[in-house]
Amino acid sequence: MSHQENTGFDYQGIEAFFTNGNLWHFIWKRKISFLLTLFIAAVLSVIFSGPRFITPKYKSVGIVYPINLTEYSEESYTEQMLQTFQSDDIKFRLINAFDLYKVYKIDSSDQHAHTYIFDEINDHVTFGKTPLQAVKVQVMDKDPRRAAKMVDSLVSFYDQLIKYNRDIRHLERVNRGQKEMNKIQSENDSLQNILTKLREESNLISPQLQTKEITRAYFSNNRQAALMYQKLSENKEKINFLDSLISLNNARFMRYKSDHDEQLGEMDRQLTFSTFVSKPMVPDKKSYPVRWVILVISVFSAALFWFLVMIITSNIRRTNL
């Protein structure tokens, strides 16, 4: 038994149908059912692509450049900005600011709530790099005003997050500097106490200035000078060493103090880390769904479906004859 007899389907006839120009003749003979199928598909696509079945969404777009950033490894500033925009921190800020659990109708107590809300955000919020190394922030939403506000807020959240992360680093240096300054101050206080006591016991205020006079008096056989000379000999190096330590600590203290004040100043600066090239606007025309695209796809699909049904039906009839 041949393959054609086994399957009951005329493959050779179909191939001939497509190659000998009978396609339009085939359609023309059944033009009423063909046109009716296309008409019904068109009507249904118009109805089911309407707002009662598909919620229209509006698109707002902002274009921003990164500024005032610090370079990390081989990442460009634009790549840094994209990474920050896609962080969970910014997503949570967006969720809280716009009550997105309510907007997307997600139960926040559900054990998979975070997964669901993040999926919705990924569907509605997109980021991309432009050819000129800017970043495009795009939001789709059923409320055109909210779409524009979300774009603006995302950029604001980005600035806040960068500022927060920088302030954390500055604060670490501030705390480290303060700790070192306290340590130095404590050490200097101890050294100063020892030095003061030593000077009082030896009656030496400044050995370098007093050495010449004490030495002259000593060689004049002044008994009191001889005692001072003895104390000078015993304590001069100790006093000079303690003075040097205190001076060295003071220099270290001032370096830490300078860095400490610089870091505090950086924390007080109100920097922004993005600048708008194109600000988000409230869209006045929906971007989704594109009804003409749905119409074309529906009509084309209906035509293809009709065509396949007609071929199968014709082949079955021919087989039964």
Domain holding 118: CATH number?
3.30.1890.10
Q: How far apart are CA 75 and CA 77, in angstroms?
A: 7
In a domain, 285, yes or no: no
Whether the pLDDT of residue 317 is over 80: the answer is no
Residue 152: domain span:
58-169+271-278
Q: 62 and 45 in one domain?
A: no
In a domain, 215, yes or no: yes
In a domain, 99, yes or no: yes
| Residue among 45, 63, 62 at smallest CA distance from 54 | 45
In a domain, 24, yes or no: yes
pTM: 0.68
Q: 106 and 71 in one domain?
A: yes
CA distances from 117 to 91, 108, 126, 147 (A): 9, 9, 14, 16
Q: How confident is the model at residue 204 (pLDDT cuts 50, 70, 90)?
A: low
Which amino acid is residue 1, in one-letter code?
M
Q: 254 and 182 in one domain?
A: yes
Whether the pLDDT of residue 210 is over 60: the answer is no
pLDDT score of 242 = 78
Q: 264 and 195 in one domain?
A: yes
Determine contact, residues 183/256, Cβ cutoff 8 Å. no
Determine contact, residues 65/275, Cβ cutoff 8 Å. yes
- Residue for token digits 């909210």? 146
Domains of the chain: total: 3
Q: How far apart are CA 274 and CA 197, in angstroms?
A: 59
Q: 89 and 13 in one domain?
A: no
DSSP 69: P
pLDDT score of 233 = 54
pLDDT tens digits along 21-78: 566 777 777 778 888 888 888 888 777 766 676 678 899 999 999 998 877 767 889 9
In a domain, 246, yes or no: yes
